[in-house]
A and B are shown apart, each in its own frame.
Chain A
Amino acid sequence: MVENRPWLTFFSHTVLILGVIAVAFPLYVTFVASTLTLEQIMQVPMRLLPGDQLIENYSQVLTGGSTKGSKAAVSHMLVNSLVMALVIPLGKMSISVISAFAFVYFRFRLRMFFFWMIFITLMLPVEVRIIPTFKVIADLGMLNTYAGLTVPLIASATATFLFRQFFMSIPDELAEAARVDGASPMRFFWDVVLPLSKTIMAALFVIQFIYGWNQYLWPLLVTTDESMYTTVIGIKRMMVGSDSANEWNLIMATAILAMLPPALVVMFMQKWFVKGLVETEK
C-alpha cells in the first residue's frame, strides 16, 4: 500500500465481501435446499435456514436416487465419478511422462512428426468431433464401460508439454552423471527423473482430478446404462422438468455430493492447485 486511505481499504473489503457472498450464495442455498422437504422448497419464498431433512435426503439419494427421475443410487455414481477422476489423471500422467521423456532424452526418426501429432490434438477437443468419436467408441464396443469413459480422455498435449518443459530444465550434467554411474535410460527415468517430477505431478493431478470428476459431455455420450452414470450426469437425469416438477431437495443433495470432492481438493491442496493451473497454461 502506497498511501493510507482508510475509505479505500474499506471499499476494497466491501467489494471482496460482496464477491465472496455472490460466489458463496448459490452454494449456501443449495445446501439449505438439500436439508428441506420438497414442500418447504415449494413455499415461495423458500426458507433460508437449514431444515431437518439432511439425513433423509442424503440417504435417499445415496441409496435410491430420485423418485421421479433417475432412480440410480448416487453412491454408485460417486464411485463412477471417482473412477473417472482417478483413472484420467493417472493415465494421462503415465502416458505423457513417458512420451515427454522420449521426446527430450532421445533422438529418433519421426520424433518431430510425433510431437506435432500430439500438438495438434490441442485443436481437436471432444466437442468438435462428437459424432465420429462416439462412433469409434461404439465400434470398439466401449459404450457403457469404464474404458470408454476414460481412455479417450487421457491423451493430452498439455501434460506432455508440461513434462517436456520440466525435463528441459533438468541440468544435462545430471543425465551425464547418471550415465557415468552406469544407469540405463529407464533406470535414470525411475531413479532421477520421476522423483524430481513429484511436485509437478502433484499439481497436475489436482487439476486433472477436477477435470475428470467434472466431465459432462463425454459420459453423456458414451453412457446410457444407469449403472455407468457419473454424479454430474445423474443430476441431469434427475431433472425431469425445469421448475416445480423437480424434486429439488434430492437434486440439491446430489449437487452437494457432486461438488464436495473437487471442492475439498481445491481447498486443501490449494498450493498444488494454483501451481497446476498456472503451470499448465504456460
Chain B
Amino acid sequence: MAAVSFRDVRKSYTPELQVIHGVSMDIKDGEFIVILGPSGCGKSTLLRMVAGLETITSGEIAIGDRVVNNLEPKDRDIAMVFQNYALYPHMTVYDNMAYGLRIRGLSKDDISVRVKKAADILELDKYLERRPRELSGGQRQRVAMGRAIVREPQVFLFDEPLSNLDAKLRVQMRAELQALHRRLGTTSLFVTHDQVEAMTLAQRMIVINAGRAEQIGAPLEIYANPATVFVASFIGSPPMNLVPRDGRLLGIRPEHLEPCAASDAMLTIDVDLIEPLGADILVYGHVGDRDSARVAARLPADALAQAGKLALRYDPANVHWFDPKSGLRST
C-alpha cells in the first residue's frame, strides 16, 4: 500500500488541445478517493495517467516514494478495473485472475492460493472454470475485481466499474466495494460520473471540470461548502439554486428553503412544476422572467404547494455567495 501524489499534472494531445490543466493532490496511504466529474471532463484520462496507459505531458505522479512518469504499467504496482471489465473472453475465470500472476512468474501454488482467496472473498469459488460469457454482469464485474485483488497491488484503479450494471446491482456492488476496502485497506482511486456513488464511497473526492480540479475534500464538506459555481451546481439533486443578487450569485440548497407568508418572503417564485415524492415535495419555479434563474425547493410532504406565486424564506447561515465572473466562492 502506498500514498499517491500528483504534482501539477498536465496532459495535452497537441499544443492547442490540453485536457488536464495542472492537477495537484496528495492521497494518503489506504485512502479511498473518488474522481468525480461530467463525461469528457478528463477524469478517466487522469486515472489512466496513474495506470501508465496515457503519458504525462508535464508534472509528476508518484506512487509511494517513486515517481512513475516513465514506468510501464506493469512496473507501477497498480491494478485496474475497467468499465467494460476487459476480461479475456477465451480464458476461464481462474485463468483471467491468474494471468497477471503467471506473467510475474509466481509459482503455481502461490497463484492457486491467491486466486482461491480472492474467489472466496468475492464469492466466485463456484465459477472458476467458467468463461466470462457464461457469467452475469455482476459476476463479470467481480471477476474484474478479483483480477485486481490477486495482484495485491499498492493502488487499485477503478474506471467507472459500476456503470454497466443495473441500478439494483450497482447499489449492492457499492456496498461490497466498501466492505472490500475496509478489509484490504488498499489505496483506491475510483472514477465516476455518478454523484451518489461518489458521495457514498469516497473518503475524499476530487471534482473535475474541463480538466481542472474544482475542489478536493470529504464528500459532506464539499456538499456543505462548494468552492465553485460548478461544484455547487453539479453536486446535489436537485442541485443548489443560484440566483443573481446584487451583482453576485446567491446559492441556496433546495432543502434550505421553506414556505412562508408573502410578507416574510426572501425569495418569491412562479411555480412551474410540482413533484410529490411521498417523503417530501419538490417544487420547481423561476424568479422574475421565465428565462432568469430557476429555483427548486424541497418542502415537507404536508406543505401546501399550488400553481401561482410561492413565497419562500431561508436561514441566512445557509447561504453561499459566488462571484459570477470567476465562479469562485466569495465569502
Write the residues of chain A forming the contact surface with B, with a CB cutoff of 8 angstroms: 171, 173-174, 176-177, 179-183, 187, 191-192, 195-196
Q: Does the CB pair B103–A180 fall under 8 Å?
A: no
Question: Known interface pairs A174-B88, A187-B103. Does A182 touch B82 (Cβ–Cβ under 8 Å)?
Answer: no
A-B pair number, CB within 8 angstroms = 56
Q: Does the CB pair A177–B103 fall under 8 Å?
A: no
Stretch at the interface among B73-81, B178-186, B242-250, B285-293: B73-81
By a CB distance below 8 angstroms, the chain A residues around B52 are: 179-180
Contact partner, B100, options A171, A174, A182, Cβ 8 Å:
A182
CA distance A182 to B80 in the complex (A): 12
CA distance A71 to B20 in the complex (A): 78
Q: Does the CB pair B72–A179 fall under 8 Å?
A: yes
Q: Does the CB pair A173–B82 fall under 8 Å?
A: yes
Interface residues of B in 200-249 (CB under 8 A from A): none
Q: How far is the CB of B164 from chain A (nearest CB, A)?
A: 12
Q: How far is the CB of B71 from chain A (nearest CB, A)?
A: 12
Write the residues of chain B forming the contact surface with A, with a CB cutoff of 8 angstroms: 51-53, 72-74, 78-80, 82-90, 99-100, 103-104, 147
Chain A at the B interface: SS class: helix
- Closest Cβ neighbor of B157 among chain A residues: A180
CA distance A196 to B88 in the complex (A): 9
Q: Does the CB pair A180–B79 fall under 8 Å?
A: yes
CA distance A191 to B79 in the complex (A): 19
CA distance A201 to B89 in the complex (A): 17
By a CB distance below 8 angstroms, the chain B residues around A181 are: 74, 99-100, 103, 147
- Closest Cβ neighbor of B83 among chain A residues: A173
By a CB distance below 8 angstroms, the chain B residues around A177 are: 80, 82, 86-88, 147
CA distance A195 to B99 in the complex (A): 14
By a CB distance below 8 angstroms, the chain A residues around B103 are: 181-183, 187
Q: Does the CB pair B74–A179 fall under 8 Å?
A: yes
By a CB distance below 8 angstroms, the chain B residues around A187 are: 103
By a CB distance below 8 angstroms, the chain B residues around A174 are: 86, 88
Contact partner, B82, options A176, A183, A191, A196, Cβ 8 Å:
A176
Q: List 21 A-B contacts (CB under 8 A).
A: A171-B86, A173-B86, A174-B86, A176-B53, A176-B73, A177-B82, A177-B86, A179-B52, A179-B53, A180-B51, A180-B73, A180-B74, A180-B79, A180-B100, A181-B99, A181-B100, A182-B104, A183-B103, A192-B88, A192-B90, A196-B89
CA distance A180 to B72 in the complex (A): 8
Interface centre among A176, A179, A180, A192 (most CB of B within 10 A): A180
Q: How far is the CB of A96 from chain B (nearest CB, A)?
A: 21
By a CB distance below 8 angstroms, the chain A residues around B80 are: 176-177, 180
Q: How far is the CB of A189 from chain B (nearest CB, A)?
A: 13
A174-B86, A183-B99, A196-B90 known, 19 other contacts, Cβ within 8 Å: A171-B84, A171-B86, A173-B82, A173-B83, A173-B84, A173-B86, A176-B82, A177-B86, A177-B87, A177-B88, A179-B53, A180-B51, A180-B80, A181-B99, A181-B103, A182-B74, A187-B103, A192-B88, A195-B90
The 8 residue pairs across chains A and B that have the minimum distance between CB atoms:
A182-B74, A181-B100, A173-B86, A177-B86, A195-B90, A182-B103, A173-B82, A179-B73
By a CB distance below 8 angstroms, the chain A residues around B72 are: 179
Q: How far is the CB of B98 from chain A (nearest CB, A)?
A: 10
CA distance A191 to B89 in the complex (A): 11
By a CB distance below 8 angstroms, the chain A residues around B104 are: 182
Q: How far is the CB of B50 from chain A (nearest CB, A)?
A: 11
Q: How far is the CB of A258 from chain B (nearest CB, A)?
A: 37
Q: Does the CB pair B90–A176 fall under 8 Å?
A: no
CA distance A179 to B90 in the complex (A): 17
Q: Does the CB pair B99–A176 fall under 8 Å?
A: no
CA distance A279 to B126 in the complex (A): 38
Q: Does the CB pair B99–A191 fall under 8 Å?
A: yes
By a CB distance below 8 angstroms, the chain B residues around A179 are: 52-53, 72-74
CA distance A138 to B51 in the complex (A): 55
CA distance A215 to B215 in the complex (A): 70
Q: How far is the CB of B149 from chain A (nearest CB, A)?
A: 13
CA distance A180 to B99 in the complex (A): 11
Interface centre among A177, A179, A191 (most CB of B within 10 A): A177
Q: How far is the CB of B100 from chain A (nearest CB, A)?
A: 3
Q: How far is the CB of B304 from chain A (nearest CB, A)?
A: 53
CA distance A99 to B117 in the complex (A): 41
CA distance A187 to B103 in the complex (A): 9
By a CB distance below 8 angstroms, the chain B residues around A171 are: 84, 86
